[in-house]
Amino acid sequence: MNKVASRINDQLLFPVSEKESTELAGIMRVTPISCIVFTLIGLILQSHIIMFIVAATTLVGAFSKNSLYDRVYNLLAKTKVPPMGIARSIGCGIGAIVLSCSGYFLYIGDNLSAIIAGGLMITVASIAALTQICFVTLFINLFRKEKVSCCE
């Protein structure tokens, strides 16, 4: 299995074939790209309200099998985003915390800290969107002798 297919499988609840993962490569970018766009809007407008809304929508992905962005995509598109695994859910939870921090910093008027936190989120989401790397799986695998995948 190629690297992108393996990375996509790291994010899903159930494994898919290499052919299926190739078909999913584009739509698996819906959530990180949505996160990037809405985070940029919140930072540009310096709106703590937008940042808290983005954090709340990201939090949905931490407690369900799909992010809110994936759910909207699934309602509108023919090809569906499959259920995601625990690593991607943890990533959404971490993202929600970072976005909440950015919103809080905007609320108290600390724009620099808000930009740093939001910029971190944009950077991580950009790398995930471009490479399909699941940072939670990557981090776990640094400390384990056996590779962790979506289905363990």
At 87-131, the pLDDT tens digits run: 888 889 999 999 999 999 999 999 999 999 999 999 999 998 888
pTM of the model: 0.83
- Condensed to tens digits (0 to 9), the pLDDT of residues 29-85 reads 888 899 999 999 999 999 999 999 999 999 999 999 888 988 998 899 888 888 888
- Complete DSSP assignment for the chain: --HHHHHHHHHBSS---HHHHHHHTTGGGHHHHHHHHHHHHHHHTT-HHHHHHHHHHHHHHHSSSS-HHHHHHHHH-SSPPPPB-HHHHHHHHHHHHHHHHHHHHHHHT-HHHHHHHHHHHHHHHHHHHHH---HHHHHHHHH-SSPP-TT-
* Cα distance between residue 17 and residue 6, in whole Å: 9
pLDDT at 132: 80
pLDDT at 78: 84
Long-range contacts of 1-5 (CB under 8 A, 24+ apart): 4/131, 4/132
